Chains A and B, each alone.
Chain A
């Protein structure tokens, strides 16, 4: 019964979502208040039904109902309960259901936190999100239904979850990523609603901003988690591979970052309206494109474990309708009136434009590199584009972007006093050069890439801290001045520092990772990076659903033991797959990473030992960016608006959702 209830709610959700896609939009068209007001209850009903459906699929997993095909293919009775839970989105069908449920959640959130918006706007926004929902619900029900059964003969046990996915990082990674992907649908829906309504003003940008920032925060966390997972789980210490699936998450991030900045310009100054709308369409289109690339089998990738041409065709049609339709609407409705808002070439507007152009160039670079094999194939050539292309391109784009960022931080809207930039360039260049020469030398011989990376990281961090210092300085002292700074300014500063931290980490770990492949026997000592590694043999280990050979490595620093590392070589019982589980002694300034290779003759084993300086900075920077985004959303102006809402709602209708700030 349980899967049937889930299945039934999913079908009902499609019906409700279809109403959501049509009625409020039609209401806005014919200006019927009742039809427009239908949007909110329909949005809540849709989310409720999707949550029920998701809950019952989860129940099928937790109860080991192997008569459900999807459960049988992705779970096993020996799996610990928390992996049974995360296995719900471990395969194609379930991850799609998660995607749709999150879309339903965002739709309901928009319905709840948009009390201050004009009724036709809300109606159009909810309907646009409903249209996207109808597309994906049809997709899941017609091609990827997770509730199909094996009847009457159900298998005794399941085929198990892919061992790569049996991991804490993977429990969190897809939900975070999807929150980000799907979150961009809100800005997208606002953009389309504004185009439909023909009112493309600063108000549109003000409403979209917090939603875009929330989505961006989730996407940032999702990408950072994915990179962290790849680092410790794939077993060879890499953290970014320019794999098509990683690119699929990176492109919306780049476009979303551009969107956040251009929304600021549109809101504050009313400039770049047409451009910002296009970026909002881009950010969500690239999220959809990511889904298509992963699911269709058009590009082969390590992540594409469930590719299927029939599904690919369906997603392609969805893409054609959603992206093609919105771009056509854009072409027909975007305003072409020349703006009369004036700004000089020294203004903040110009710097944000530079930021946007460079971020878009970066996005197109990734898109081109990801699609180039396909394009070349169409012309009868066969090529593969690898990490060297992306690394080369980004080693040009990122320094230009970051150097412009460092200067642009000091800019003002409309115009900036002449000399503002000039007097700062020299100190920044001195700080950057000192960092660019000094930091790499701590780790070894000076290298170009590390030097350049350190230079721009220090340049940016110095500029940002300097700006914070100047803005805090005043009669009442720096501390009091700092306290008075707005949360959104502090958020921006934190996020920019986060970028500097990530860049520094990437530059140092890429150049100064030490790596040794060794043969070890009991008692073997290996010296590396000033540490001594002593191999103390292998012990057998039995996990819940695997057996493992576990190595014991003592790590000594000048004779003192600082860590004992236990890398595993696991064999999963259900599939027979062999997995390497690396052991890491982590620290802010360096990681020590040991992975077990193959058994050689007798008691000797192959092992790989790595010393990775500043690798944690990569994800620490990502975390800082996410904290920065969160601070920006908690800014007073959003809370004031909510208070105003609250006052209004307490007089009028009762409301459950109006007391939260404008975020999910």
Chain B
């Protein structure tokens, strides 16, 4: 009888997995709970990716609506969305800030050199501390930050034509209309 009980182990593990998946399905990855929603960007001091001797802080978000894109060279989806970011940047409609997340600086520079640089400002967060403060799940993520430096929206996953035109751009326009 004892051995029969052992045969139930795979079934029990699978039931556990089932509940995990079922729970995971409810977590719509594009609408993850955003702890920082409607709160200011956490304070940070990070080196400029292009010039590590220069540091940047949360003041870069003041006065302009920004799109903060979290990316890394180890992330295939980032590569997929990159050409589209370049195109958004070419339209000049919004300040684009790149956060190179848990990445190697040299590889990141190579990437921007190869694929084009869609960012007006590039932050380097090699240890992922700022990403942790912000609540980054993984790359890529794209945040809409208003003129006061308040986090208004997070998009998880690649930015494409649909996401940009239907979600991000209307939001950017809305916050651009607001006074400082």
Give the B-binding residues of A (Cβ under 8 A).
234, 236, 241, 243, 274, 278, 281-282, 285, 292, 296-298, 300-302, 309, 312-313, 316, 319-320, 323-324, 327-328, 330-331, 334, 336, 371, 373-375, 377-378, 382, 384, 386-387, 517, 575-578, 595, 597-598, 606, 608
Question: B25 touches which one: A316, A373, A597 (CB < 8 A)?
Answer: A316
In the complex, what residues of B have CB within 8 A of residue A292's CB?
21
Q: B28 — which chain A residues lie within 8 A by C-beta?
A: 297, 309
Most buried by B among A384, A575, A598: A384
The contact of B77 among A278, A282, A302, by CB within 8 Å, is A302
Chain B interface residues (CB < 8 Å from chain A): 3-4, 7-8, 10-11, 14-15, 17-18, 20-25, 27-29, 74, 76-77, 79-80, 83, 87, 110, 113-116, 135-139, 156-157, 161
Q: Which of A243, A375, A377 contacts B27 (CB 8 A)?
A: A377
Q: Which of A323, A378, A382 contacts B24 (CB 8 A)?
A: A378
Report the minimal beta-carbon distance from B125 to chain A, rounded to whole angstroms: 14
**B18 — which chain A residues lie within 8 A by C-beta?**
316, 319-320, 324
A597 touches B27 (CB 8 A): no
- What residues on A are CB-neighbors of B14 within 8 Å? 285, 323-324, 327
Find out whether the CB atom of A243 lies under 8 angstroms from the CB atom of B76.
Answer: yes
Shortest beta-carbon distance from B29 to chain A in Å: 6
> How many A-B pairs with Cβ below 8 Å?
101
Tell me if A236 and B138 are in contact (CB < 8 A). Answer: no
- Cβ B10 vs Cβ A517 within 8 A: no
Known: A327-B11, A327-B14. 17 other contacts (CB 8 A): A234-B76, A234-B79, A274-B7, A296-B21, A296-B25, A309-B25, A309-B28, A316-B18, A324-B11, A336-B7, A377-B137, A378-B20, A378-B23, A384-B137, A384-B139, A578-B83, A597-B115
User: Taking chain B's interface residues, is the majority helix, strand, or loop, or is none over half, making it mixed?
Assistant: helix
Residue contact B8 to A331, C-beta cutoff 8 Å: yes
Residues of chain A within 8 A (CB-CB) of B116 are 598
Cβ–Cβ < 8 Å partners of A373 in chain B = 138
B10 touches A330 (CB 8 A): yes
Known: A297-B29, A324-B18, A598-B116. A331 touches B10 (CB 8 A): yes
A330 touches B21 (CB 8 A): no
**Chain B residue nearest to A595 in the complex (CB):** B114
In angstroms, Cα B79 to Cα A624, docked, is 33
Q: Would you list 27 pairs from A and B whose C-beta atoms are within 8 A, ordered by A residue?
A: A281-B10, A296-B21, A301-B77, A302-B76, A302-B77, A309-B25, A313-B25, A316-B22, A319-B21, A323-B14, A324-B11, A328-B11, A331-B7, A331-B10, A336-B4, A336-B7, A371-B17, A371-B20, A375-B20, A377-B27, A377-B137, A378-B20, A384-B137, A517-B114, A577-B83, A597-B113, A598-B113
Whether B23 pairs with A517 at a CB distance below 8 angstroms is: no
In the assembled complex, the Cα of A647 lies from the Cα of B115 at a distance in Å of 65
**Closest B residue to A596 using CB positions:** B114
In the complex, which residues of chain B have a beta carbon less than 8 angstroms from the beta carbon of A606?
Answer: 113-114
CB atoms of A334 and B113 under 8 A apart = no
Docked complex Cα distance between A371 and B14 (Å): 13
B136 to chain A, nearest CB (A): 8
Per CB-CB distance, the 9 closest pairs between chain A and chain B, nearest first, are: A302-B76, A597-B114, A327-B11, A336-B3, A331-B8, A598-B116, A384-B138, A331-B7, A298-B24
Q: Which residue in A285, A300, A576 is a CB contact (below 8 Å) of B138?
A: A300
Please indicate the chain A residues that have their CB under 8 angstroms from the CB of B83 in the complex.
577-578
Contacts of B137 in A (CB 8 A): 377, 382, 384
Q: Which residues of A have CB within 8 Å of B25?
A: 296, 298, 309, 312-313, 316
Could you tell me the distance between the alpha carbons of A595 and B24 in the complex, rounded to whole angstroms? Answer: 39
Instruction: Say how far A535's CB is from chain B's closest CB, in angstroms.
Output: 16
Is B74 touching A386 in the complex (CB atoms < 8 A)?
yes
Question: Cβ of A517 and Cβ of B77 under 8 Å apart?
Answer: no
CB proximity of B87 to chain A, nearest CB, Å: 8
Nearest CB on B from A154, distance (A) = 21
From known contacts A300-B138, A316-B22, infer whether A324 and B157 are also in contact, taking CB-CB under 8 Å: no
Q: A309 CA to B7 CA in the complex, in Å?
A: 33
